[in-house]
Structure 1
Amino acid sequence: MAEFMLIEKIIQELQAIPEDKLTEIYDLIHYFRLGLNPEKSATVTDNEAEPRRPGLLTGELSDAFFEPLPEEELQRWE
């Protein structure tokens, strides 16, 4: 019963947080939870990843690339 009350208190606190801060709270909770299970959090961090190098592909974009997509294609993305 006490666990349920604690969850309710956490939810109440979350509801009082300004919307522009919710991403920070989510990240905190998410990474805290991942830390509870180290096997699932074994991912490459930003510091470990090799830097990306833009511009490796060659080629040019035609004017057609910048034309609006057909309505049928736009509907597929909705």
Structure 2
Amino acid sequence: MSDLDRTRAVWRQIAEVIVARIDDGTYPAGSRVPSVVELSTEFQVAASTAQKVMAHLKAEGLVRSEVGLGTFVADR
């Protein structure tokens, strides 16, 4: 998926895609979301960009991390 608008912050656009997937049930509560490596591969961005997406989603309370297990959609 490389149809990102390069005139806007790429990490924000990716975050919007992940939030939309959470909202539409693609990633239901409790399910694992893609890792930083998986996100960087899917969206063809640097790992640091994918890391920024995850940090934002965590700060918003949308996802939670479990050491050694991955990142999951938070219960709302």
* TM-score normalised according to structure 2 size: 0.30
More helix by share: 1
> Larger Rg: 1 or 2?
1
More strand, by proportion: 2
The structure whose RCO (Cα within 8 Å, separation 6+) is larger is 2
Q: TM-score, normalised by structure 1?
A: 0.30
